[in-house]
Structure 1
């Protein structure tokens, strides 16, 4: 709402721009509404019978974080280690795989035990989560199960199943390490892990009935919808996708469908069924790209045409609100984008995606495993017209709709046409579509006060475009009604498309004519629908209304900036580039290396810092800001020395024996003497005891010198204790203390890597630190102390000894 109480409706996501025509769509990569790509996908067409044969013979592969490949052996009995990156080793691997005697080594030397199928053969290989490799197995009879290998923690375990698993998938985004299993008629979810260390029970003490509270086990299972055969299983961050043949599929004609369900749903959740086009060849695997998009893998054609058609088709599955509800059919829609494969390896595994923890699509090419990318050179239709499904409601009858603001990019040769419908009856809006004028480029990034625009700031064709909502002809050109619909027409040049990043519809119009001019200047007529192409000139009131609205559109954003000018002096809201000016205004300085959050908090606390400057409270606040909250966490503790005055004097009537205390267990040390159960006699430190707890009594007894000396040893002294990870802040604290501590106070910095030890460290909350154990760091030569915190972490690798870092910039990397 602006300073004139004008509201706006915001459209900035796929759901807001939902439409039925699909000539234009929401581009998830750009996060913008654009023309739908019209790439001519070159899809290979292999006979379904041959595709089923290749799918049945395919050996699944995976690739770890270090470019090392793993696969199932040809007979499916073991898990093999295949390759260490780089790609130059691929030919050596191919030669080894062709050599029946050599083959590929198994993982017997890489894990504690050989990874062999307990019964029968492995049926699939999945990789994901924190480093889990899931291998379902079956003997074709009554023995079925799941073996799981953790490549970082180097353990393996297995459990039995009541059905024969065909496919597996490990969730890679939830962090729960859950494993989805797919049988011929069952979908199941498995989870669990072995104990971190072997546990041996002792018969002389009570033991739990089950030593491991969370072993690998089947959590639940559910019935699958009818199908002819299963082809693949994949998951993104929200949903699970199953590729299957439809029950009416024939040997000579493939008809496929996709079952989808939420990952977080329980076993009772219904599947959504998404039929695929009947003309689509049989796919042999599926990969999820997120936002309800799935990529299918189709084998190359054989013979002379091999490799001529090499694209993978992309489909988008409708949202829940686009269909008729759970359990119903909602047709998957093909996306006209090209996802080409470079080549196809001469191996059965080439018809399966290579699995990785990041969930990105990879295939096995003649040059090794390669990631798939969308073809950058796009083709678009010359134009596309869509009517947005959403009908916008102002909640006020006879609303005068004001204007549209578009955060958009309109390259040369492109334009955006807008038409609107408006009326007070939602079900019977006028059939007339009112064309709007072309948007005018606004020099401001946004009409909202001090807001950044959604369009890319570095694109010269991107910015804010403004459209005053009006009729094209008629005596009265206002657009009125409670409800509004939008029709967008995007025009491109075939290679480029306009992009709408956000669209805001402002209503109702604040009319200067109505609010500031006498009654005889007001509009006396109502807008009338226009028939034919004859233009009717606007009357004087309408011309005056739109003229004043043009000035209002320029001046109201300025008024909004003036009305919101306190933002400029609010450290939490002012633009980041104005923080140095605000610091100078408040009489302080901001080092350039400070993060933005620290700079904003330092400025926001200037009032309290200046009031408490030189005091203990001001020191705590300043150090807490400079250390990003370490004082509040208890990692940095400024201690005035008078708080550290200890005495070994005795106290009558208090039993200090801690041998039966459940926390200290007799570790407390005391120099006191105990007579009987409660009488405690003082030692020679009685004078210090009096100086500490009753200095006026000590002075009356002639011990004034002792009292003065005792207090002088602790006065005007300060120690800043750095605990644990806060030791790295020593330079920051040392540089800040001279400006924060009075010159009459002597200060020192002490660091400690030991937290509080119950019963042994004094003054809980002052020179002790109760902490949650920080995560262990990596071992560093010449710095790490044996047994002190740092750990050697196993890499998520098939062969840890030869694990190397793979450059992310390499186009052929994993």
Structure 2
């Protein structure tokens, strides 16, 4: 007999429950014990007045910039060149950015910038084009410095305004101005415009990776608070916060005074949960930054450091009570309860079940939010099922049922846990009277160092009906009948698992639902031998399309689809006879019409985009031996950079599924795109980041192969140049 399940899973459903000394883990929305911060044994004494703010910023080349307001200087440090765990690693000395060397003449007139020439530089920001913006508070201006060309582009003077902090969302820069309720928005070559927000005491600003601006008001004060620009009424109070920065797309970090841990918040639509803090030893209190590898960095008297996870202490006991689960029928005998949980050593989860057909009148348990939650907004609270009546709650000293770990895994047929998933499925019977409604109460307990986690629960209904198949003698006495029902549930559960698997056995014949270990067996039904080097998900699609692939084996569509299934991207297959004739570049696809559109002469096609020894050169459109050049040959252009294993798999596919009399060349983007060597417009011309080019690195790049020198000149993009300066008309 197939059963139904009542489910509690996910953020929205758990937030409608009642929490008591328990919280939600935002990373997987699992229930856990509430936590509190463990202060260090000898913490530094918090400074009542934090020092003036300074700026930290990274450029696209992972170089760190640090402003020194008192010295009037901005330093550049090679962040990745120093390893704290390597005792042999030596920190490179910082380089002063604004030194005394003169700048190029012309529109940007030479200005001597000795060390200390800047007047109290504060905030720093770098845009997507590698331009550094410096908020020079004392001089009331913003300096724009081109890091690539190492020259000062602009000095943007703000009339009577003092910039404090800067933030970048890519192209645009947002500036906080002292004493102003508005923000300034500017780009490297555009004039600033005011963005009215109407907030007083603006101090710091942070731009979220997923969009949105966050503002810190009254930095370093008792009433410091964080607001979001598009929702200024949602205020997050963080006393003595000195700076804010995003660690991830939805994780906001608030730095506090020196000696105090950084607080972290998970910013979700409609809810803000506090995460375990991170420790910042010797933080100077002047600002933080997100490093290119996703950590939070700060400055100390010993230089740049990274924040590390702080140790937290969990409460010993907590409780979560679900909302009402409805079976839809009165006098329902509930079956088993399945719970996906992670229960470490010295922790425990016990369960109470409350069942009723008609809940008694009176007070009900109040719905309370999770601990460590700052703000929460329940979507459609009127749809939340009722909580249990207080009269039905178990006594305070009542001990719930313990969980039994299922050795066979989840009860759902043919469902496997993800690799690396620490959650296991536990089971216990619902020991309660018959009733339509069910409430589940979870008692969590731990040792203050670790906590159990419950991700989801599923209540099975109705229970088995084996008692009805036995003589009435065995169910006359209610206590004996209840014991026998629970006893028979052990065997009925095993039968139910077998029956469910038999009923869902069709899942074994579907390549998208079959377990990975059964894929070779399933592939044998269509005469396919799987290559273990293929990813599992692509092997599933290969089995699904195997019949079609065998039907078109050895043809251009078949080879292209076979390679696309493995690589996850379409490839270009060029038959050499289609580019025969006068030679030259071809516009369009591989159709005969496009193959005859000639733009010039002296081009060639071949392996690795024209590797010597693998290509035939077309000299002014007259090949020396047209048959040897074009007959039974084809090239496969792959717009990817292949690893050695991927290249071996591609060659294996071509050897098995190409026509036996043909020869092939494999062309990837590693060799680049070179005019005169296999470059055909619309066929082998790949423009963009996927073309395999990167910035030139000395000692590790080959010029003309996979590296590019320099960057596009100014004036090649609308809005990036200045007429008369670096852009000319005509």
- What pairs with 1:126-205 in structure 2 (closer than 5 Å)? 126=125, 133-138=132-137, 144-149=140-145, 151=147, 156-157=153-154, 164=161, 166-170=163-167, 179=174, 181=176, 183-188=178-183, 190=185, 192-194=187-189
Query: Are 1:384 and 2:318 counterparts?
Result: yes
Q: How far apart are residue 25 of structure 1 and its match?
A: 1.6
- What pairs with 1:371-520 in structure 2 (closer than 5 Å)? 371-376=306-311, 378-387=312-321, 401-421=334-354, 426-427=385-386, 429-431=388-390, 432-433=392-393, 436-453=400-417, 456=420, 463-471=424-432, 477-481=433-437, 484-500=438-454, 502-509=455-462, 511-513=464-466, 517=469
State the partner residue of 1:798: none
Q: How far apart are residue 415 of structure 1 and its match?
A: 0.8
Structure 1 727/158 Cα, relative in aligned 2: closer, same or farther at 3 Å?
Answer: same
Provide Cα deviations, 1:67-98, integer angstroms capped at 9, x if missing partner. Answer: 754333445755333677537999996xx9xx
CA RMSD of aligned residues (A): 5.1
Structure 2 counterpart SS, 1:588: coil
Query: Is contact 2:341-2:452 (8 Å) kept?
Result: yes
Separation in 1 of the partners of 2:159 and 2:329?
61
Q: How far apart are residue 789 of structure 1 and its match?
A: 6.6
Provide Cα deviations, 1:290-315, integer angstroms capped at 9, x if missing partner. Answer: 5565433213xxxxxxxxxx331526
Separation in 2 of the partners of 1:448 and 1:115?
74
Structure 1 counterpart SS, 2:512: coil
Q: How far apart are residue 522 of structure 1 and its match?
A: 13
Provide Cα deviations, 1:440-477, integer angstroms capped at 9, x if missing partner. Answer: 110133222222336955x6xx5211132232xxxxx2
Q: How far apart are residue 126 of structure 1 and its match?
A: 3.9
Separation in 1 of the partners of 2:419 and 2:563?
39
Structure 1 406/162 Cα, relative in aligned 2: closer, same or farther at 3 Å?
Answer: farther
State the partner residue of 1:527: none
Structure 1 counterpart SS, 2:14: coil
Query: Is contact 1:614-1:740 (8 Å) kept?
Result: yes
Provide Cα deviations, 1:383-442, integer angstroms capped at 9, x if missing partner. Answer: 122445x55566777766544322222223221122344566755743212575211110
Structure 1 440/667 Cα, relative in aligned 2: closer, same or farther at 3 Å?
Answer: closer
Whichever of the two has the greater Rg, that structure is 1
Q: How far apart are residue 287 of structure 1 and its match?
A: 4.0
Separation in 2 of the partners of 1:58 and 1:37?
31
Structure 1 90/183 Cα, relative in aligned 2: closer, same or farther at 3 Å?
Answer: farther
Separation in 2 of the partners of 1:15 and 1:34?
15
- What pairs with 1:221-620 in structure 2 (closer than 5 Å)? 221-224=196-199, 229-237=201-209, 240-245=213-218, 255-261=222-228, 265=230, 269-276=231-238, 282-289=240-247, 291=250, 294-299=253-258, 310-312=259-261, 314=263, 316=265, 321=270, 339-343=278-282, 350-354=285-289, 356-357=291-292, 360-376=295-311, 378-387=312-321, 401-421=334-354, 426-427=385-386, 429-431=388-390, 432-433=392-393, 436-453=400-417, 456=420, 463-471=424-432, 477-481=433-437, 484-500=438-454, 502-509=455-462, 511-513=464-466, 517=469, 538-539=478-479, 542-543=482-483, 545-614=485-554, 617-620=557-560
Query: Are 1:218 and 2:193 counterparts?
Result: yes
Query: Is contact 1:259-1:271 (8 Å) kept?
Result: no
State the aligned residue count: 619
Gaps of 5+ in 2: 360-384, 584-595, 602-625, 712-730
Query: Is contact 2:224-2:241 (8 Å) kept?
Result: no
Q: How far apart are residue 734 of structure 1 and its match?
A: 4.8
Structure 1 777/543 Cα, relative in aligned 2: closer, same or farther at 3 Å?
Answer: same
Structure 2 counterpart SS, 1:255: coil
Q: What is the aligned counterpart of 2:98 among 100, 106, 119?
A: 106
Separation in 1 of the partners of 2:22 and 2:532?
45
Structure 1 397/317 Cα, relative in aligned 2: closer, same or farther at 3 Å?
Answer: farther
Separation in 1 of the partners of 2:666 and 2:449?
65
Could you say which structure has the higher strand fraction?
2
Separation in 1 of the partners of 2:77 and 2:38?
36
Separation in 1 of the partners of 2:16 and 2:146?
42
Q: What is the aligned counterpart of 2:634 among 715, 720, 723?
A: 720
Separation in 2 of the partners of 1:523 and 1:21?
39
Query: Is contact 1:4-1:510 (8 Å) kept?
Result: no
Query: Is contact 1:777-1:789 (8 Å) kept?
Result: yes
Provide Cα deviations, 1:731-775, integer angstroms capped at 9, x if missing partner. Answer: 6555444432444x4444485989899xx999x98xx45655444
Separation in 2 of the partners of 1:441 and 1:65?
50
State the partner residue of 1:637: 574
Separation in 2 of the partners of 1:725 and 1:455?
31
Query: Is contact 2:57-2:66 (8 Å) kept?
Result: yes
- What pairs with 1:600-679 in structure 2 (closer than 5 Å)? 600-614=540-554, 617-631=557-571, 635-638=572-575, 641=577
- Structure number with the bigger relative contact order (C-alpha 8 A, sep ≥ 6) is 1
Query: Is contact 2:672-2:693 (8 Å) kept?
Result: no
Query: Is contact 2:351-2:443 (8 Å) kept?
Result: yes
Provide Cα deviations, 1:473-506, integer angstroms capped at 9, x if missing partner. Answer: xxxx23432xx54432211123222122x21223
